[in-house]
A and B are shown apart, each in its own frame.
Chain A
Amino acid sequence: MRAPDGPPVTAGDVLLSIDNVSLSFGGVKAVSGVSFDIRKGEIRAIIGPNGAGKTSMLNIINGFYHPQEGVITFKGEARARMRPHDAADGGIARTFQNVALFRGMTALDNIMAGRTLKMRRNMFWQMLRIGPALAEEVEHRHRVEEIIDFLKIQEIRRTPVSRLPYGLQKRVELGRALAMEPELLLLDEPMAGMNIEEKEDMSRFILDVNDHYGTTIALIEHDMGVVMDLSDRVVVLDHGIKIADGTPNEVKSNQAVIDAYLGVAH
């Protein structure tokens, strides 16, 4: 099911490229003329002050917003206007700035829901829940339990997510995205509102995901320490325009970035 079309992309090649993309709502420009790429297997950070267009960028990547201009190439194919679930089909998963879990469901069901695209049995079999349908449920439950073990959330699997503390909710949300076995994982402020300890946990999970599953990750984060430690390359947006792109060290010493963050006298 993964990557149904196009040749597999090997590590280090460009997985997703964004060329001269612009997006506006009515008269307000959210993103204008931004270009950058994400290479297979890397951790790519997108940073910038509030309102820089970072989340809009993620929304463009997974098809929730449609840019008025520009080309997005994913796995070597230029993408036409698409629905969000097509992006999911293609192997793009994400988490959200404000946790967007399914509040009425347990942690286990939330993560199982991430397996939707991988489950093949039709409604008739599910209704009977015997033979192949049951076998499929069990098989996917195995995969989900692996993720639950990996994220160390065994004891809360039966808890409705609305009762979980924020940090754990973020972790379940990561689990749900991982259950999709994505090729590209988009994380929107995975550490917002966390304390040091939780941030360390989450950082380790992100590195492990990247390491073990070879998942390419694009993340938005405000904590500069975390960004500098985790990411291979950083792109900096400000007011919808790209102002810098490069390794963490290059970006750190870039004058435009310092101005954007500290403000500059005009």
Chain B
Amino acid sequence: MFYRETGQFKTSYAADMQIFPIRQDRIALWVLLAVAFIGIPLLNAFHIWPFGNEYMLRAILIPFLILSLAAIGLNILTGYCGQLSLGSGAFMAIGAYSAYKFGTGVHIPFGLFDLSIPPLPMLPSILLGALMSAVVGILFGIPSLRIKGLYLAVATLAAQFFFDWVFIRVKWFTNYNSSGSVSAPDLNFFGFVVNAPIERYLLCLIFVAIFALLAKNLVRGNIGRQWMATRDMDIAAELMGIRPLYAKLSAFAISSFIMGVAGALWAFVYLGAWEPLAFSIDRSFQILFMVIIGGLGSILGSFLGAAFILVLPILLDQVPHALGVPISVETVSLLVFIVTGALICWLLIVEPRGFARLWSTGKEKLRLWPYPY
């Protein structure tokens, strides 16, 4: 009833090309942002449920935001450009470890001349770390010019296993820490040290909001159309003048950059101290599932998928407790396996394009409601 675009006329193409051409959607977005940026901190400050305690922020919101960002990164590569990647964890790890090195000072003994960079402030460290990830992303994207689909997936697995190994074996990356575990430097942003959970949450929120907007702009612009064209029919795209080299490698670069940022945030803001295991192949699959379940080729879907994959184990853990059925921790983790797997299959059967497609179908129905068409 209230969800109508009738009477909202566009007088310019710019207005027609907004992210949300329908006014109600725009209002909803602003409300959501207001809740995220103002509402949740207020609730937290006054200790009001459900955001009064740290648990909600630490265990749900912060990982949700960071993994959403990683999912956006993978979605650009797999969902928009059609290049299947099983190496997301590696690119997150490169972002995290490079940011760590830049944050604690880089020293490369070349023998004759030493390369030394003093410890950089936090923001440049994270961005430079992400840049490293982008560079490696381009390198591992080169095979995509010759190989497609599942073959490429195995190529990205090479990145995953190789960098797992590098960060375990090459002590230089962990500053020769004997345990192999690494602690993040202070989260100092222009003199302001981010520490309390709510500050960490806001930091992630800012990063995610900015990168989500930039990513959305890219995918609806010229480069985004090139990615999608390459995904849908690469030969026709090339015959129209789209260079596969540029389209694919730019997708690899942007995607790994975003995943690098997500990796740095995951390590610095969420974990604080971490081991290479934090970015293992399990992480890669987790993010791939978020993208599949949320919806390939949808920025919104990345958020929906991340929310779902993250909340599912928590729900599975809580529900039996609430019902009074005793279940061991191990059984829960196995149940999570089974349910996640079943849901993936179920979702692929009912809607291969994921939650995002269900969402937009729902919106279309709502626009026409109460008429069927």
Residues of A within 8 A of B (CB): 62, 64, 83-85, 87-89, 93-94, 96, 100-105, 109, 112-117, 119, 121, 123, 126-129, 133-134, 137-138, 141-142, 145, 176-177, 180
Q: Looking at the complex, which of B92-100, B122-130, B228-236, B304-312 is the stretch in contact with chain A?
A: B228-236
Beta-carbon contact of A100 and B13 below 8 Å: no
- With A113-B228, A141-B16, A176-B240 known, 15 other A-B pairs at CB within 8 A are A62-B239, A84-B238, A85-B238, A85-B239, A85-B240, A88-B241, A104-B297, A105-B232, A109-B228, A112-B222, A115-B222, A116-B242, A117-B241, A123-B223, A126-B221
Closest A residue to B231 using CB positions:
A104
Query: Mostly helix, strand, loop or mixed at chain A's interface?
Result: helix
Known contacts A104-B228, A116-B222, A126-B218; is-contact A180 B240 (Cβ 8 Å): yes
Interchain CA distance A88-B240 in the complex, whole Å: 6
Q: How many Å from the CB of B228 to the closest CB on chain A?
A: 5
- B interface residues, how many (CB within 8 angstroms): 30
List the 4 shortest-distance A-B pairs measured between CB atoms, nearest first: A88-B241, A102-B232, A100-B236, A126-B221
Q: Nearest chain-A residue to B226 (Cβ)?
A: A116
B238 to A, closest residue via Cβ: A84
Taking a contact as CB atoms under 8 Å apart, the answer to whether A103 and B232 are in contact is yes
Give a binary string over B229-267; 1 marks a CB under 8 Å from any A CB, 0 the rest: 101110111111111000000100010000000000000
A-B contact count (CB 8 A): 105
Cβ B239 vs Cβ A87 within 8 A:
yes
Give the chain A neighbours of B237 by CB distance below 8 A.
Answer: 102, 113
Chain B residue numbers with a CB within 8 Å of A123 are 218, 223, 250, 254
- Residues of the B chain whose Cβ atoms lie less than 8 Å from the Cβ of A105: 225, 228-229, 232
Q: Chain A residues with Cβ under 8 A from B218's Cβ?
A: 123, 126-127
B225 touching A112, Cβ below 8 Å: yes
Q: Nearest chain A CB to B20's CB is how many angstroms away?
A: 14
Contacts of A85 in B (CB 8 A): 238-243
Distance in angstroms between the alpha carbons of A95 and B180 in the assembled complex: 57
Contact A84 B233 (CB under 8 A): no
Q: Are A109 and B225 in contact (CB under 8 A)?
A: yes
Of chain B, the residue at the smallest CB distance from A91 is B241
Rounded to whole angstroms, the CA-CA distance of A127 and B220 in the bound complex is 10
A126 touches B217 (CB 8 A): yes
Q: Are A113 and B240 touching (Cβ within 8 A)?
A: yes
Which residues from chain B contact A88 at a C-beta distance below 8 Å?
A: 239-241
**What are 15 inter-chain pairs, A to B, with CB distance below 8 A?**
A85-B238, A93-B240, A100-B233, A105-B225, A112-B225, A117-B241, A121-B222, A123-B250, A127-B221, A128-B214, A137-B17, A137-B221, A138-B13, A138-B14, A177-B240
Q: Are A127 and B217 in contact (CB under 8 A)?
A: yes
Residue numbers in B under 8 Å from A115 (CB-CB): 222
Q: How far is the CB of A129 from chain B (nearest CB, A)?
A: 4
Interchain CA distance A64-B239 in the complex, whole Å? 8
What CA separation (Å) do A102 and B239 show in the bound complex?
13
A89 to B, closest residue via Cβ: B241
| Chain B residues within 8 Å of A121, by CB | 222
User: With A100-B235, A129-B217, A180-B241 in contact, is A116–B225 under 8 Å at CB?
Assistant: yes
Q: Chain A contacts of B217 at CB under 8 A?
A: 126-129
Q: Which of A62, A113, A142 contacts B13 (CB 8 A)?
A: A142
